[in-house]
Amino acid sequence: MKIRTFFYTLSQGIRNLFKNGWYSLASIATISACLFLFCIFYSVVANLRFVLNNVEQGISVQCFFNEDVTEERILEIRKEVENRVEVSRVIYHTDEEIWASFGPEYAGEDYLDVFPENPLAGEHNLEIFLSDVSMQSTLVTWLSSMSEVRKVNYSEVTASTLSGVNMIIAYISIGIIVILLAVSIFLINNTVRVGIAVRAEEINIMKYVGATDFFARAPFVLEGMIIGALGAAIPLALTYNLYDYVLDYINGRFSVLSSILTFLSLDQVISVLLPVCMIVGVGIGFIGSFVTAHKHLRV
């Protein structure tokens, strides 16, 4: 495209935007509303997944060994466990360490005098933290199949609950995104269709004097992309100004939660929303206007 042609196309696209002012504003407002809902939805879901991920990081499987298993063999098994994809980290607890942490609570500071012999002898174990809680059953099955393992402690209910919540969040996210995209494309489609109807005679003349389909279509495509970009910028600005305020309000109003839950920072949220909203907004504008123009510019 020549520079002169580009600037002409751009000026016509902006002209269309103002010529169909009410329709353009309606589309921008609706796209903004849709993407603002998406921003809110993403912020909630991302923080929920962040909290769930922190909870998952604290879920562990405890593997106890037979008394005749040597420490050297336990350390070998530890290395095997650490190499598994579902494992994030492994801590080896010796029976002496366990008694040293539990003894003072159970028998006081003189626990060594009260119990000269370690009552927890043979309770050495591996505490295994999962990188993916949905794969807990696979790990437990593998551990249980080892002859050196006496017992495996785990919570099947917790793992299945967290996996189910993650799956529900994923399905809901996909459904809402599809709905928002469909509504936005429909609105831009209508706006561009009105613009084409208003300039139908001009388009006919352009085509009759030899204008290409690209030359006639380009202003409407640019119009749709501008509408999409403006529709994305507004919710981003609102989210940027509201996110920290909402977090401060939650932490201030529910101070107990601040000591239990941690939330994503504004930078972490915006770093994802900025490219996504811009790509979605401009992409919707391009696709919606291109398809509509292609359909209605057959003169």
The CATH number that applies at residue 106 is: 3.30.70.3040
Residues 169 and 149 in one domain: no
In this predicted structure, what is the pLDDT of residue 275?
92
Q: What is the pLDDT of residues 184-242, one digit of tens each?
A: 667 666 665 665 565 566 666 666 777 676 776 777 778 778 888 888 899 999 999 99
* 280-to-30, 41, 43, 287 alpha-carbon distances in Å: 14, 15, 17, 10
Q: Which stretches of 94-244 are assigned E, i.e. beta strand? A: 125-130, 149-153
Do 92 and 31 contact (CB within 8 A), yes or no? no
Using only C-alpha atoms, the chain has a radius of gyration, in whole angstroms, of 31
Same domain, 119 and 210: no
169, 234: one domain: yes
The more confidently predicted of residues 82 and 117 is 82
Q: 64 and 51, same structural domain?
A: no
Same domain for 98 and 189, yes or no, is: no
Domain check: are 222 and 192 in the same one? yes
In angstroms, rounded to a whole number, what is the distance separating the alpha carbons of residues 87 and 135? 9
Question: Do residue 48 and residue 173 come from a single domain?
Answer: yes
Minimal CA–CA distance to 231: which of 73, 39, 8, 11? 39
- Looking at per-residue confidence, does 6 or 221 come out higher? 221
pLDDT in tens, 135-161: 888 899 999 999 888 889 888 777 778
pLDDT at 294 over 70: no
Detail the DSSP E strand segments found in the chain. 60-65, 87-93, 125-130, 149-153
Residue 188, pLDDT score: 64
Find where tokens 């070998």 sit.
76
**Residues 230, 242: Cα–Cα separation, whole Å:** 19
Please tell me the total count of domains within the chain.
2
Same domain, 128 and 269: no
Residue 8: is its pLDDT beyond 90?
no
3-state secondary structure of 110: coil
| pLDDT value, residue 276 | 87
Q: Which of 154, 175, 195 is the last residue of a domain?
A: 154
Mean pLDDT of 54-60: 79
Q: Are residues 94 and 20 in the same domain?
A: no
Q: Does 70 share its domain with 24? A: no
Phi-psi domain of 108 (left: phi exceeds 0; alpha: psi -120 through 50; beta: other): left
Q: Is the pLDDT of residue 83 over 80?
A: yes
Backbone angles phi, psi at 124, to 5 degrees: -60, 145
Q: Which residues contact 230 (CB under 8 A, 6 or more apart)?
A: 28, 32, 281
Tens of pLDDT, residues 100-137: 776 666 666 665 665 666 666 667 888 999 888 888 88
**Average pLDDT of the residues of the chain:** 78
The residue with tokens 């504004």 is 266
Q: In 49-87, which positions are buried (b, 16+ CB within 10 angstroms) versus exposed (e)?
A: bebeeeebeebbbbbbbeeebeeeebeebbeebeebebb
Q: Which of 139, 154, 169 is the last residue of a domain?
A: 154
Tell me what the mean pLDDT of segment 50-78 comes to: 85
* Res 198: pLDDT: 59
Both 173 and 285 in a single domain?
Answer: yes
| Full domain range(s) for residue 71 | 60-154
The dihedral sign for the CA sequence 36, 42, 43, 44: positive
For residues 265 and 240, the answer to whether their CB atoms sit within 8 Å is no
**Whole-angstrom distance, CA of residue 244 vs CA of residue 38:** 17
CA distance 256 to 254: 5
The structure's pTM equals 0.67
| Domain match, 206 and 148 both | no
Question: Of the residues 132, 154, 176, which one is the last residue of a structural domain?
Answer: 154
pLDDT at 79 over 90: yes
